[in-house]
Structures are given as structure tokens and as C-alpha cells.
Amino acid sequence: MTNFNRRSLIKGGAALGALTASGLGEWAKAWAQAAPWKPEPGAALNVMRWRRFVVAEDEAFNKLVAAFTQATGVRVSMTSESFDDMQPKASVAANTGTGPDIFWGLYSTPHLFPQRCVDVSDVADYLGKKYGGWVSVAEAYGKLGNKWIAIPVAINGGYINYRISHIKAAGFNEVPQTTAGFLELCKALKARNTLAGFPLGRASGDGNAYAYWLLWSHNAAQVDENSKVIIRSAETEAALNYAKALYDTFIQGTVAWNDASNNRLFLSGELSLTANGISIYAAANASNDAKQKEIAADMDHAFWPIGPAGKPTEIQLCFPMFAMTYTKFPNASKAFMAFLLEAENFNPWLEAAAGYLTHTLNAFDNNPIWTKDPKNAVFRDAAKRSLVAGHRGKLDERAATAMADFIVIDMFANYCTGRETAAGAMQLAERQLQRIYR
Amino acid sequence: MMASASIVTPSEPGLFERLKVNRNWLGFWFMVPAMIFLLFFLAWPLLLGMWMSMTDMRIGRGGSFVGFENYQFLLDDRDFLRATAFTLTYTAVASVFKFAIGLYLAILLNNNMPFKAFIRAIVLIPFIVPTVLSAVAFWWIFDTQFSIFTWLLQQWGFLGKDQFINWLGDPFLAQCSVIFANIWRGIPFIAITLLAGLQTVSPSLYEAATLDGATGWQRFRFVTYPLLTPIIAVVMTFSVLFTFTDFQLIWAMTRGGPVNATHLMATLSYQRGILGGRLGEGAAIATAMVPFLLAAIMISWFGLQRRKWQQGENND
């Protein structure tokens, strides 16, 4: 039981005083008065977000949530779920019409049930005008037609993570920026038994990033502009053969990897090159362990190499925030989203995320996080370089389904493991895609 | 009661009035709450699932009736056919091992030994630990680089320092690994239930058999086994049903990977229906499990029915 005595009351009062006296508190109150979205009387929000990977990011986020509650009186209760569970939870909520008011989810989840998402066009227009406009990938993820169904809060950039000393020992000063050169690097790493590895398993983040990069860098795609399935092509076959050549240089077990596997192996020192967000570096940096510190000092990041397509073909993880139409408090929900992205709030949050989150509003290019550490620099451009899920086709529920169903990852895994021929792997993927895109 | 009721009421009571007090109907009235419960929570979802399997329903919006289109697609779907084949293999292999080891353990535990209660409690541990926890433990045990099995083999010199076994990365090894984990988890249930059965066997039967000069094997074959058959039938029915519908273990260990090699029908249904958002197709996969489950129940039911004890008589 909590005992309120004079001392604890004084302490509590002092803390409250400190919070209201702080800049954030005052500013937040003023913001709430001026903001066009007035929360419904007695509004309370249930918000579900993906479970944090960077502790400081989560803490900064929770601070913003507390400030929002203070300024508007809207109680916000937060829950978090692992990456893999976000989409099923949101889907079930959409289907049953009950659950959290706001989801902060992954990729194109809102496009799985666009008609269940609150129209947030006013919030997106307000933020876009104020902060230098949205990057194009953000518009693609947030909008359906002319209507914004989600606020693309941030992008999580995934790039090549490598051990500096290992690629030097293999005869390279940097990660080659062509697919051909990249294969040579992986072969040289294999010869020295310092191995590369990319996930070909059930890894919705890292696995899809790798598989779609393979596909798009070779000028292949799952569908064309008219959403016609074109996966069975000479370009895809070239991508498959390239993937197989890479796979032969990999560390064992990549077909069984989930999103956490490469982090674990890289931090244990067994893996020399992989693709990941900045979380490996952040974890190694934050650790007190000498071995982890050494890995942090000996690692750096590089862009995904460019293939025959001749331009960056990255797919980066988008974190859209969307409110559900069943919510009783759409205005409070909109106010919450707008509040998070105001510069006074978003800048410190972005900084706390240590590169894990990349902004989608152009004005945040100047955030100090991108210049503070040169190893962060590549992540600044994640949102600008990223293509969207679906690529040439529309970003709609079909693109989201193809991704959630691991169709492209499985195609590569089927061929790399020798379970299917190139034709067989493409045919399997084609059949499933045709069903999704019918 | 009937008579007194008809005397008190001047007019002839209605049909419902009579049914309300009729002794033959009383049993039915008592069953009504349970029936409503079953209808709402079992029959209704099952029918709903079957209906959904004939639509192209997606998450977030209703679908239209498409007949057997989902089933047609699945019949030609390599992943579904593989999942069905693996579900049958998984169930068959795991059940056989679980039964053999479980029975052996039960017979061992039936002996008198020190710390009997304690040892019996320990045997239950794999069953008590939440499936997800044990599955995560197995996920580590079968990790390619950090597997304890690989490490032991390396320590004993069977494998080189840089040689690894791709437990969950190789389709066949992954299938073996998940079956192993299922067997480990399922044994206690069978062992403890059969142990309970063994303890109901009267010692006098063994005495008589021993006096007649029966060997250990003969005592098992002609005394223990026949008396244990009803329990074996029930336990194995449950075990087969649980194994066939397994989900958690696979989901926590492999999510159906590598390359869909360890998908069971239940996990594939979830993958397609919930993650992929195609509720109709997911429901069709789930519905396709029903005939197999019915067959399993029928076999044990008819197997049991031949036994006289079920009709309230003693066995011969």
C-alpha cells in the first residue's frame, strides 16, 4: 500500500512543479490551446506500439506521452507488442471493431484495412506545410488515393553493417557499391572465414529488406504498374542466381533466421557483415562489456549496393501511426499524432533514438544526430532512398499481403537451399502472387 | 405429480406445461444449459469457419461466396500439400514415440522406489512448463551456431571447431527437431495417465499370474495390457488430437520455416488467414483439418465401443 505522508507529498508536489515549470510542459500547454484538434471531453486513448529496440527512444517517447496528457488532460495508456505481433493484433482489432484507439505499426499495415482507418489528412497537411513537406515514401505509406489514412511517423533505416577490420583483412577499404563488387567482398570474407549473412527465414523486417533489394536491384519486380504479376522473368532469374552465389558465402543457418538472429550473431563476433538497422551499433555502444565496445569501434555502416537497376533499390521499414474508425476519440487521436511530430517534441525524440528512427519530414534533416557520429550518417537518407512496398505496383493491401506472407523471401530461400529450381521457385511465387493480385 | 397437477388445474395443461414436469423430459431440461454453451462456443464458430472457407473474406471486410474455390486452390498448392503431409508425419511419428516412451516410463514409475512421489512430480515438468517457454529453449538448443548439441559434438571431437549443424536451417533436420521437441513435451501426459491406469490393476491378478508361472512379458501382455487398453485408447486419442492441432511449439521455434518445411496445417492456416489477411483461405485450411480429426475420433470411438465395459459390463 502506498502511504502518503507529508514528506512524500512534498516530494510529489516538487516533481509536479518541476514538470510544469519545464519548457516542455509550458510549451505543450500552449500548443494544446492553439491546436486545431480539441480532444473530446473525458477522452482517453489506448495506444499500441511496436516494442522498442532502443531504450532511450522509448523513454523519450514516454516523456512526450506524459507531456501530452499534462497539456490536454487526455489519459494515454500504452502497450507494446513485438514487431511480429503488431500486424496480427491490428488486423484482429480492425476485424472485430474493438481494441486500441491508435496503433503505431509497421510497413503498410494500415493498407490491409484502409476503410478502418481514421482520415488524418488534416494532420498530415498541417505537419507537411509546417515542416518542409513529406518525403515521397512517406506519402506513399500514409496515403490511399488523396486521403491520408496514417501518419508515417518515421522510417527505420536498414543498411549494411560490417566489421571494419574484417573487410580490410579481406582486401577492401569499403563496402563496394555495386552488386558485383559486393559479391566479391562476400567471397573474400568467406575465404578468411569471417562470414557474411542475410536472413532468408521468417524475418519480416530484415528478411523482406534483403529479399526485395535482391529483386529490385536486378530490375525485377513482383508486379508492374498495372498490378500484373511479372515475377517470372529473366531479371528475377538473374536475381535468383546472384542470391545463390551470395548464399554460398554465408554463415550457416540463415534460412532459420528471424529478425533478432543477425543482431545476436554480429554482437557475438561470429558474423562480419549483415544488413540491419542501427540497433546493433547502438546496443554495442551502450554496453559496458569490453568485447561489445570493441565491436562498436570496429563496425561501420554502408548503403545497399546498386545493381543492374542503376539506382538505390532499398526497402526501408516504415512506422505508420493510425487511428481506428471505431475509436470514440478521433480528435484526441489526431491531436496526439500532431503533437508527437512537432519540432519541439520530435527533435529530442529523434536524437534519443540514436539513428534508429529516420524522419519523414524534410525539416528534420538538420537534427544533430546525423552529424554527431559519422557512423550514423547513412541512416539520415533512409527515407529519401527507400522505395515502397509493391514498388512499381500500388502500395495497397495486396502489396502488404505479399510481404506479410514472405512470398519473395521464400522464393529466394527455395532456390538458395536447392529445394526448388529457379523456374520452380518463380512459379510458386507467381502462383501465390496471382492469387493475391487477382 | 402428474396426477396432482391435473387435479389442481381445471383445464387440460398445454403441451409445454406438460413437458416442463414430464420426468422423461427432465433430463433434457438439465442438458439445455450445456447444449447452449456447446452450440455457442463450439458449433457456431465451427460453422462460421466453414462458411468463411467458402468466401473470399479478407481481414477488415466481408467477402462474397466463392464455393469451393479456396479448396480448389489449396489442392494445387504445394505448400499446403506439404503442410498436410508433414502434419500427418508429425502426428504419426510423435505419437508412436510418445506412446512407447510414455508407456515405458509409466511401467518404471509404477515400481516401488525411494522418493516415488518426488520422481513422479519431476516427470511432469515438461508438461507443466508453458509451451512457449520450452519452445524458446528448444529454439536455442537447436540454434545453428549456439546449439548445445553441436557444442557437445565438437567437444567430443565428432565435429570440427568450425563445423556446425544447421538444425533449424535444413528442412529435414528442422522437421526432426520440432518432432523431437513435441515428443519431449508430450511424454509426461501419456506417462502419468498410463501410470494412473496401471495403479488400478489389482495386484491379485499379478499374484495369480505369477502362481501360474507367467513370465514378466506374459504378465504385461496378458494382464497389464488388456486392462490398460481403454485408458490407452483415450490417452492416445487425446494425444493424437493435441499433436495434430499443435501450433505454439512450431510458431515459437520456426514459424513454419525454413522455406515452409515445418508448417503444420494449423500454423499455415494462421499464416495465410491472419498474417496474410486472407481469412477465407485460412479458414479453408483449418476446415481441411476437420476430416482428419473426425477420423481420429471415429477410430478410437469404434475401437472403444467393442469393449463391454462401455456398456456397463465387466470385461471377459
Check pLDDT > 90 for residue B310: no
User: Model confidence at A289, in pLDDT bands (50, 70, 90)?
Assistant: very high
Beta strands in A43-146 (DSSP E): 44-50, 75-81, 102-104, 143-144
> Residues 114..143 of B with a Cβ closer than 8 Å to A: which?
143
Q: Which of A87, A202, A434, A438 to mutate to test the interface with B (most CBs of B within 10 A)?
A: A202
The answer to whether A252 contacts B79, with C-beta atoms less than 8 Å apart, is no
pLDDT at A19: 46
User: Model confidence at B7, in pLDDT bands (50, 70, 90)?
Assistant: low
CATH class assigned to B68-311: mainly alpha
A108 chain-B contacts, CB cut-off 8 A:
none
The contacts of residue B295 (CB under 8 Å, 6+ apart) are none
Q: Is B255 part of the contact surface with chain A (CB cutoff 8 Å)?
A: yes
Check pLDDT > 70 for residue A9: no
- What does the block give as the cell for B290? 476437420
Check pLDDT > 50 for residue A2: no
User: Model confidence at A85, in pLDDT bands (50, 70, 90)?
Assistant: confident
- What does the block give as the cell for B44? 457456431
Q: Which of B66, B143, B176, B259 to mutate to test the interface with A (most CBs of A within 10 A)?
A: B259
Mean pLDDT to the nearest integer, A174-185: 96
The more confident residue out of A438 and A414 is A414
**Residue whose C-alpha cell reads 464458430 in the numeric block:** B45
Work out the angle between the directed axes of helices B171-199 and B225-244 (0-180°, nearest 10).
Answer: 140
Q: pLDDT tens-digit profile of A20-51?
A: 445 677 888 899 988 899 999 999 999 999 99
d(CA A333, CA A383): 25
pLDDT at A391: 83
Cβ-based contacts under 8 A for chains A and B: 100
pLDDT at A112: 82
Range with the poorest average pLDDT among A25-29, A150-154, A174-178: A25-29
CB B46 within 8 A of CB B230: no
Q: pLDDT tens-digit profile of B81-140?
A: 999 999 999 999 999 999 999 999 999 998 888 888 888 888 888 888 888 888 889 989
Percentage, residues of chain B above pLDDT 70: 91
Mean pLDDT of chain A: 90
User: Model confidence at B3, in pLDDT bands (50, 70, 90)?
Assistant: very low
Residue B202 buriedness (CB in 10 A; 0-12 / 13-18 / 19+): exposed
Residue of B nearest to A87 (CA): B275
pLDDT at B313: 53
**Residue whose C-alpha cell reads 527455395 in the numeric block:** A414
Could you give the domains of chain A?
26-157+316-384 (3.40.190.10), 159-315+405-436 (3.40.190.10)
CATH 1.10.3720.10 residue ranges for chain B: 68-311
The answer to whether A113 contacts B167, with C-beta atoms less than 8 Å apart, is no
Single out the residue of A388, A358, A378 nearest to residue A175, CA to CA: A378
pLDDT at A12: 42
- What does the block give as the cell for B169? 536451417
The answer to whether A397 contacts B260, with C-beta atoms less than 8 Å apart, is no
d(CA B144, CA A257): 10
The answer to whether A256 contacts B174, with C-beta atoms less than 8 Å apart, is yes
Single out the residue of A314, A308, A182 nearest to residue A246, CA to CA: A182
Residue B169: which of A88, A113, A256 has the nearest Cβ?
A256
Coil/strand/helix, residue A318: strand
Check pLDDT > 90 for residue A102: yes
A265 chain-B contacts, CB cut-off 8 A:
145
A436 chain-B contacts, CB cut-off 8 A:
278
The more confident residue out of A220 and B63 is A220
pLDDT at A21: 44
The more confident residue out of A241 and A398 is A241
Mean pLDDT to the nearest integer, A400-414: 91
Check pLDDT > 90 for residue A343: yes
The answer to whether B277 contacts A410, with C-beta atoms less than 8 Å apart, is no
Residue of B nearest to A111 (CA): B60
Check pLDDT > 80 for residue B70: yes
B58 chain-A contacts, CB cut-off 8 A:
397
Check pLDDT > 80 for residue A213: yes
The more confident residue out of B240 and B1 is B240
pLDDT at B60: 62
Check pLDDT > 80 for residue B315: no
The ipTM (two decimal places) reads 0.80
Check pLDDT > 50 for residue A200: yes
pLDDT at B305: 59
Q: pTM of the prediction? A: 0.83
How far does the CA of residue A212 sit from the closest CA of chain B (Å)?
Answer: 17
Mean pLDDT to the nearest integer, A323-352: 95
CB B249 within 8 A of CB B229: no
Q: pLDDT tens-digit profile of A125-148?
A: 999 999 999 999 999 999 998 999
User: Model confidence at A4, in pLDDT bands (50, 70, 90)?
Assistant: very low
CA B5 from chain centre, in angstroms, equals 50
Virtual CA dihedral for B298, B302, B304, B310, nearest 10 degrees? 120
